[in-house]
Amino acid sequence: MEQQQKETEDLSDICSVLQILGAKWSFLIIAELSKGPRRFQQLHRDLKIVRTQSLTDALRHLEKSGIVRREVFPTVPVTVEYSLTPKGLDFQSSLKEMEKWAARWRN
């Protein structure tokens, strides 16, 4: 019975991670923000394959999930900068391991 409960908890943890990071562009956004804070246009320029609306949606989702911080500066025009929260920074080591795994099994 304990083994089954442990397996259920493990699956629950995996599902919660997928709810946060399973969005199509999440990993690319996190990888880009790992290099430092970015404004929206910088992110969009660096992630050319991501449509504007898709990037907006993914950033909102990651912000709501506590992975990304959105900071608004009172300039004219308004400046918005995105960066990783401590929760997002904590994921960097996992992302690096995933990159290594992908490189190892690329072919």
- pLDDT of 93 strictly over 80: yes
CATH number listed for the domain at residues 2-104: 1.10.10.10
Burial (0-12, 13-18, 19+ Cβ within 10 Å), 87 = middle
Which tokens sit at 30? 């996190």
Domain borders along the chain are 2-104
pLDDT tens-digit series, residues 54-85: 999 999 999 999 999 999 999 999 999 999 99
What lies within 8 Å, CB to CB, of 69 at 6+ separation is 63, 82, 83, 84, 85, 88
Q: What is the mean pLDDT of residues 1-18?
A: 72
The H-or-E segment that residue 71 falls in is strand 68-73
Burial (0-12, 13-18, 19+ Cβ within 10 Å), 91 = buried
Give 17's pLDDT tier (boundaries 50, 70, 90): confident
Give 20's pLDDT tier (boundaries 50, 70, 90): confident
Q: What is the mean pLDDT of residues 14-31?
A: 86
